Protein backbone atom coordinates (compact mmCIF):
# COMPACT_ATOMS: atom_id res chain seq x y z
CA UNK A 1 0.00 0.00 0.00
CA UNK A 2 1.49 3.31 -1.11
CA UNK A 3 2.10 5.99 1.50
CA UNK A 4 0.66 9.45 0.91
CA UNK A 5 3.77 11.65 0.61
CA UNK A 6 1.87 14.69 1.89
CA UNK A 7 0.88 12.90 5.11
CA UNK A 8 3.67 13.80 7.52
CA UNK A 9 4.47 13.49 11.19
CA UNK A 10 2.36 16.53 12.10
CA UNK A 11 -0.74 14.99 10.42
CA UNK A 12 -0.10 11.71 12.20
CA UNK A 13 0.08 13.42 15.60
CA UNK A 14 -3.03 15.47 14.87
CA UNK A 15 -5.05 12.34 13.95
CA UNK A 16 -3.77 10.55 17.02
CA UNK A 17 -4.91 13.37 19.31
CA UNK A 18 -8.36 13.47 17.69
CA UNK A 19 -8.77 9.70 18.10
CA UNK A 20 -7.67 9.89 21.74
CA UNK A 21 -10.10 12.74 22.50
CA UNK A 22 -12.99 10.84 20.88
CA UNK A 23 -12.19 7.70 22.88
CA UNK A 24 -11.95 9.70 26.10
CA UNK A 25 -15.27 11.39 25.34
CA UNK A 26 -16.99 7.99 24.93
CA UNK A 27 -15.44 6.76 28.19
CA UNK A 28 -16.70 9.82 30.07
CA UNK A 29 -20.23 9.29 28.72
CA UNK A 30 -20.15 5.63 29.75
CA UNK A 31 -18.80 6.53 33.18
CA UNK A 32 -21.70 8.96 33.60
CA UNK A 33 -24.10 6.20 32.72
CA UNK A 34 -24.96 7.72 29.36
CA UNK A 35 -25.21 5.53 26.26
CA UNK A 36 -22.50 6.01 23.65
CA UNK A 37 -25.23 6.48 21.02
CA UNK A 38 -28.71 7.86 21.74
CA UNK A 39 -31.36 5.13 21.72
CA UNK A 40 -33.85 5.18 18.84
CA UNK A 41 -37.10 7.00 19.58
CA UNK A 42 -39.84 4.61 20.68
CA UNK A 43 -42.63 4.30 18.16
CA UNK A 44 -46.04 4.95 19.66
CA UNK A 45 -48.56 2.12 19.45
CA UNK A 46 -51.61 4.02 20.76
CA UNK A 47 -52.61 5.44 17.38
CA UNK A 48 -56.15 5.23 16.05
CA UNK A 49 -57.36 4.52 12.53
CA UNK A 50 -59.61 7.14 10.88
CA UNK A 51 -63.41 6.84 11.03
CA UNK A 52 -64.87 4.03 8.96
CA UNK A 53 -61.70 1.95 8.96
CA UNK A 54 -62.25 -1.73 8.21
CA UNK A 55 -60.57 -4.44 10.33
CA UNK A 56 -56.84 -3.93 10.68
CA UNK A 57 -55.69 -6.80 8.45
CA UNK A 58 -58.10 -5.84 5.68
CA UNK A 59 -57.22 -2.19 6.14
CA UNK A 60 -53.55 -2.91 5.52
CA UNK A 61 -54.46 -4.84 2.36
CA UNK A 62 -56.66 -2.07 0.98
CA UNK A 63 -54.85 1.10 2.05
CA UNK A 64 -52.45 2.39 -0.61
CA UNK A 65 -50.95 5.17 1.56
CA UNK A 66 -52.27 7.70 -0.98
CA UNK A 67 -52.83 10.28 1.79
CA UNK A 68 -56.19 11.34 0.33
CA UNK A 69 -57.86 11.00 3.75
CA UNK A 70 -55.00 12.93 5.34
CA UNK A 71 -55.51 15.79 2.90
CA UNK A 72 -59.30 15.68 3.27
CA UNK A 73 -59.27 15.95 7.09
CA UNK A 74 -60.30 19.59 7.85
CA UNK A 75 -58.59 19.86 11.26
CA UNK A 76 -55.51 17.93 10.12
CA UNK A 77 -56.03 15.25 12.75
CA UNK A 78 -55.19 12.38 10.38
CA UNK A 79 -51.47 12.00 9.72
CA UNK A 80 -49.26 9.45 7.97
CA UNK A 81 -47.76 6.87 10.31
CA UNK A 82 -43.99 7.52 10.58
CA UNK A 83 -43.15 3.86 9.84
CA UNK A 84 -45.50 2.67 7.10
CA UNK A 85 -47.26 5.81 5.89
CA UNK A 86 -50.77 4.55 6.67
CA UNK A 87 -53.27 7.08 8.07
CA UNK A 88 -53.49 7.36 11.86
CA UNK A 89 -54.57 9.76 14.58
CA UNK A 90 -52.88 10.47 17.91
CA UNK A 91 -55.76 11.31 20.25
CA UNK A 92 -53.76 13.33 22.76
CA UNK A 93 -52.38 15.55 20.01
CA UNK A 94 -55.28 16.04 17.61
CA UNK A 95 -58.45 13.99 18.15
CA UNK A 96 -61.08 13.27 15.52
CA UNK A 97 -63.66 16.07 15.46
CA UNK A 98 -66.27 13.75 13.92
CA UNK A 99 -67.03 16.06 11.00
CA UNK A 100 -70.68 15.75 10.04
CA UNK A 101 -69.97 14.63 6.47
CA UNK A 102 -66.78 12.66 7.34
CA UNK A 103 -64.76 13.85 4.30
CA UNK A 104 -61.96 11.41 5.11
CA UNK A 105 -64.25 8.49 4.28
CA UNK A 106 -65.51 10.14 1.10
CA UNK A 107 -61.91 10.66 -0.02
CA UNK A 108 -60.99 6.96 0.28
CA UNK A 109 -61.33 5.16 -3.08
CA UNK A 110 -60.05 1.75 -1.98
CA UNK A 111 -62.70 0.93 0.66
CA UNK A 112 -60.13 0.97 3.45
CA UNK A 113 -62.56 3.46 5.00
CA UNK A 114 -66.23 2.57 4.59
CA UNK A 115 -69.26 4.88 4.95
CA UNK A 116 -71.07 4.90 8.29
CA UNK A 117 -74.70 5.77 9.03
CA UNK A 118 -73.61 8.65 11.27
CA UNK A 119 -70.90 9.73 13.68
CA UNK A 120 -72.47 7.62 16.44
CA UNK A 121 -71.62 4.54 14.37
CA UNK A 122 -67.89 5.34 14.22
CA UNK A 123 -65.80 2.81 16.17
CA UNK A 124 -62.21 4.05 16.48
CA UNK A 125 -61.83 2.76 20.03
CA UNK A 126 -63.19 3.07 23.54
CA UNK A 127 -62.13 5.44 26.29
CA UNK A 128 -60.79 3.91 29.50
CA UNK A 129 -60.37 5.80 32.77
CA UNK A 130 -57.62 5.36 35.32
CA UNK A 131 -59.56 6.22 38.48
CA UNK A 132 -56.34 6.12 40.47
CA UNK A 133 -55.09 9.33 38.82
CA UNK A 134 -58.40 10.84 37.64
CA UNK A 135 -59.13 14.16 39.34
CA UNK A 136 -62.93 13.85 39.06
CA UNK A 137 -62.93 13.38 42.83
CA UNK A 138 -61.60 16.93 43.07
CA UNK A 139 -64.40 18.23 40.88
CA UNK A 140 -62.81 18.08 37.42
CA UNK A 141 -65.17 17.10 34.65
CA UNK A 142 -63.65 18.92 31.66
CA UNK A 143 -63.74 15.78 29.53
CA UNK A 144 -67.48 15.31 30.17
CA UNK A 145 -68.36 18.73 28.79
CA UNK A 146 -66.28 18.17 25.65
CA UNK A 147 -67.44 14.64 24.77
CA UNK A 148 -69.32 14.92 21.44
CA UNK A 149 -71.34 11.73 21.95
CA UNK A 150 -72.22 12.06 25.67
CA UNK A 151 -70.25 8.88 26.37
CA UNK A 152 -68.82 10.24 29.62
CA UNK A 153 -71.01 10.45 32.70
CA UNK A 154 -70.16 12.25 35.90
CA UNK A 155 -71.94 11.19 39.09
CA UNK A 156 -71.79 14.47 40.99
CA UNK A 157 -72.95 12.85 44.23
CA UNK A 158 -69.94 10.53 44.35
CA UNK A 159 -67.72 12.55 42.01
CA UNK A 160 -67.16 9.40 39.97
CA UNK A 161 -66.55 9.42 36.21
CA UNK A 162 -67.62 6.54 33.97
CA UNK A 163 -67.72 5.64 30.27
CA UNK A 164 -70.85 4.53 28.45
CA UNK A 165 -69.15 2.11 26.07
CA UNK A 166 -72.14 1.88 23.72
CA UNK A 167 -71.94 5.64 23.13
CA UNK A 168 -68.15 5.97 22.94
CA UNK A 169 -66.76 6.17 19.40
CA UNK A 170 -63.12 6.58 20.41
CA UNK A 171 -62.63 10.05 18.91
CA UNK A 172 -60.06 10.92 21.57
CA UNK A 173 -61.44 14.33 22.53
CA UNK A 174 -61.49 13.31 26.20
CA UNK A 175 -57.85 12.23 26.11
CA UNK A 176 -56.68 15.52 24.62
CA UNK A 177 -58.77 17.56 27.08
CA UNK A 178 -57.43 15.57 30.02
CA UNK A 179 -53.87 16.14 28.84
CA UNK A 180 -54.61 19.86 28.58
CA UNK A 181 -56.04 20.32 32.08
CA UNK A 182 -54.14 17.72 34.12
CA UNK A 183 -50.54 16.87 34.90
CA UNK A 184 -51.25 13.18 34.27
CA UNK A 185 -53.56 11.83 31.60
CA UNK A 186 -56.23 9.76 33.34
CA UNK A 187 -58.29 8.82 30.30
CA UNK A 188 -56.96 7.03 27.23
CA UNK A 189 -58.60 5.63 24.12
CA UNK A 190 -58.02 1.93 23.58
CA UNK A 191 -57.78 1.50 19.78
CA UNK A 192 -60.46 -0.69 18.23
CA UNK A 193 -57.83 -3.12 16.92
CA UNK A 194 -57.10 -4.01 20.57
CA UNK A 195 -60.75 -4.65 21.37
CA UNK A 196 -63.22 -7.46 20.85
CA UNK A 197 -66.41 -5.63 20.18
CA UNK A 198 -69.64 -6.90 18.65
CA UNK A 199 -71.34 -4.13 16.71
CA UNK A 200 -75.09 -3.86 16.97
Q: Which of 92, 77, 91, 89 is nearest to 179 (CA)?
A: 92
Residue ranges and CATH numbers for the domains of the chain are 56-194 (3.30.70.20)
For residues 80-87, give the mean pLDDT: 94
What is the value of pTM for the model shown?
Answer: 0.73
Please determine, for residue 40, whether its predicted confidence score (pLDDT) is greater than 50: no
pLDDT at 101: 93
Q: Per residue in 58-68, pLDDT tens?
A: 999 999 999 99
Which residues 6+ apart lie within 8 Å of 185 measured at CB?
A: 92, 175, 178, 179
Residue of 123, 115, 141 whose CA lies nearest to 194:
123
- pLDDT value for 43: 78
Amino acid sequence: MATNPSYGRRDFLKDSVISTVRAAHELVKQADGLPAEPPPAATRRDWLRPPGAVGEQLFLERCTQCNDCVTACPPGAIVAHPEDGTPVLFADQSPCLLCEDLPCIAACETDALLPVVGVNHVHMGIAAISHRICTAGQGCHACVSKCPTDALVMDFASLHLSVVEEACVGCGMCEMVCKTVSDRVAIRVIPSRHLTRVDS
